[in-house]
Amino acid sequence: MNIAASPALHITVHTDQGPLSLPPGSTLSDALAHLLPLMNKQAEQVATAVNGEFVARGARAAHLLQDGDAVLCFSPITGG
Residue 3 belongs to some domain of the structure: no
18 in the Ramachandran plot: left (φ > 0), alpha (ψ -120 to 50) or beta?
left
Check the CA dihedral 46-50-30-35 and report its sign.
negative
Q: What is the CATH number of the domain that holds 38?
A: 3.10.20.30
Q: Rounded distance, CA 43 to CA 13, Å? A: 18
Tens-digit pLDDT string for the chain (80 aa): 555 666 679 999 999 999 999 999 999 999 999 999 999 999 999 999 999 999 999 999 999 999 999 999 998 776 65
Residue 80 belongs to some domain of the structure: no
Domain of residue 19 covers 11-74
- How many domains does one find in the chain? 1
The pLDDT score that the predictor gives to residue 4 is 60
Assess contact for 48 and 59: CB atoms under 8 A.
no
